[in-house]
Amino acid sequence: MEDLKVIFAANLIHLRTEAGLTQLQLAEQLNYSDKSVSKWERGDAIPDVMVMKAMADLFGVTVDFLITSHDEWNVRPVERHVHVDTLMAIINIGVMSIAALLFVIFWMLGNVQWIIWFAALPVLFTTWLILNSVWKDGKNNRFLIAALVTSVFGLVSFALWRYELLVLLAPALLIVWLSFRVYRKGKAKKDKNV
């Protein structure tokens, strides 16, 4: 299935650019979001047959043409993920390096501030969440939001020396889990109707 996604992605990129269309313009013609087109072109997903038929008609090819490899323009869209993951790792290491630098500075001044590590985690997870939303269309955001909520509760509990606040963490994580469940059901219903 992965090979089919890559083949379809390469064909879509070639046909779209050859037609002089942006992802947004193609999405509008198909009544889809540009995020969906982006996912298809990265090889993360593949549209259903009805959408493929609409694309085939739009580009003047067959559905079979869309899912058949054409070596002369075979682009590897999946390789882009390696660069995105590397960049995200570098940025996250940068956030933690700043926290380490601040910790060392305070330590050298004779004022050890352990709270710096607790404060760095919400910054780290917020940065990661933003980058993940922009570059990976929010894939696995539910885990990042859960980690962000947990880190904020940890920071507040440590800062106030009120560890009983952590009792509220379980309901907060339940709300995050239920929110994503409702979102996924709504999205599946919307995609089914389109």
Check if the beta carbon of residue 122 is closer than 8 Å to that of residue 86: no
pLDDT (tens digit, 9 = 90+) per residue, 55-65? Answer: 988 888 888 88
Residue 105 has pLDDT above 90, yes or no: yes
pLDDT digits (tens, 9 = 90+) for 3-40: 888 888 888 988 888 888 888 899 888 888 888 888 89
The Cα-based distances of 84 to 46, 78, 79, 88, 132 in angstroms read 21, 11, 9, 6, 9
Residue 87 binned pLDDT confidence (cut-offs 50, 70, 90): confident
